[in-house]
A = this chain, B = another copy of it.
C-alpha cells in the first residue's frame, strides 16, 4: 500500500482548518453539533467552492467520507480537550495559518490540473484558501482574519506563486507542494509574530 502525499496534505489541511472552526465554536460557546457544523465550514468550504466553479461534480467530499470524518473528529476532539480560554485564540490563529498555506497550494494544483490558466489558478488558490476561514469568522460575527490588517491574503498568494515557480524550475510536484506550503506559512508566521503590515491606504476618518 502506497500513501499519496497529496492526500496526506489534504487531510492535514482539513484537520487544521476544522480545528480552527471548532475553536471559533468554543469561543462562541456552542454545543457539540454546532462545533461540527462550524468545523466543516473552513475544512470543506473553500474546496467545495473550487470544485463548483471548475464544474467538478459531485464535489470532493461526497464520494470520500474521509474529509467530513476528519473534520468532525477534529471538532469532537476540540470539544472535549481544548477548553482552555486564553490559549484558544492563539491556537486558532496558527491552525488557520497552516490551513491557509496548505489550501492555497492544493487549490492551485487542482486548478492547474483542471486546465485553467496560471493567472486563474493563482487567483483560485488564494480565494479558496481565504473563503473557508472568512465564512467561519462571519458566522461567529468576528472580524475576519483576512481583514486583520496583518499579512494574510498575501501569504496565500506567496504560497501559490512559490509552488508554481518551483514546478516551472523542474522540481517534482511533491517537493514543489512542500516548498509552496513552507513559503506561505513562513510569510503568515512573520505577519503574526511581528504584526507586520503591508502598506495600506485609508484613514481613521471612515467615510
Q: Are A152 and B68 in contact (CB under 8 A)?
A: no
Contact of A37 among B40, B86, B127 (CB under 8 A): B127
Q: Are A202 and B53 in contact (CB under 8 A)?
A: no
How many residues from A make CB contacts under 8 Å with B? 70
Residue A83, interface by CB 8 Å? yes
Q: Are A153 and B52 in contact (CB under 8 A)?
A: no
Q: Mark A56-67, 1 if CB is under 8 A from B, else 0.
A: 011101110100
Which segment of A6-14, A118-126, A163-171, A173-181 sits at the interface?
A118-126
Residue A201, interface by CB 8 Å? yes
Contact of A33 among B57, B61, B62, B153 (CB under 8 A): B153
Rank and list the top 6 A-B pairs by shortest CB-CB distance, nearest first.
A55-B57, A31-B198, A33-B153, A29-B202, A83-B201, A55-B58
**Interface on A for B, CB 8 Å cutoff?**
26-34, 36-37, 40, 48, 52-55, 57-59, 61-63, 65, 68-69, 72, 79, 82-83, 85-89, 114, 116-117, 119-120, 123, 126-127, 130, 134, 138-141, 143-144, 146-147, 149, 151-154, 156-157, 197-203, 205-207
